Amino acid sequence: MTEKRVWFKDSEEVETFVSAAGQCDFEIDILCDHIYIDAKSILGVLGLGLRKELTVKYFGENAKFENTLKNYAVA
């Protein structure tokens, strides 16, 4: 399992992220406090709210997804 922190400033960023996640054949979750959401669900991710730090947990490897994730990574 890999875990990274991300931050989305608007719904377009969420849409790009969810699109990249949807192309992966492994499980990807987003965690906010104690709530887990499927990262392949745009409504679920938007429901967590924008402009807050979220944790992405995923259980596989995909270069395109990793590159997309870098755009939203919290330093």
Question: C-alpha angle with apex 24: 7 to 56, nearest 5 degrees?
Answer: 25
| Entry pTM | 0.92
Question: pLDDT per residue over 34-67, tens digit each?
Answer: 999 999 999 999 999 899 999 999 999 999 999 9
Residues 50/8, Cβ–Cβ less than 8 Å? yes
Question: pLDDT per residue over 14-35, tens digit each?
Answer: 999 999 999 999 999 999 999 9
**Residue 57, burial from CB neighbour count under 10 angstroms (0-12, 13-18, 19+):** middle
Judged by DSSP in three states, 60 sits in coil
pLDDT of residue 75: 73
- Asked if the model's pLDDT at residue 8 lies above 90, the reply is yes
Judged by DSSP in three states, 19 sits in helix
**Cα–Cα distance for residue pair 30/56, rounded to 1 Å:** 5
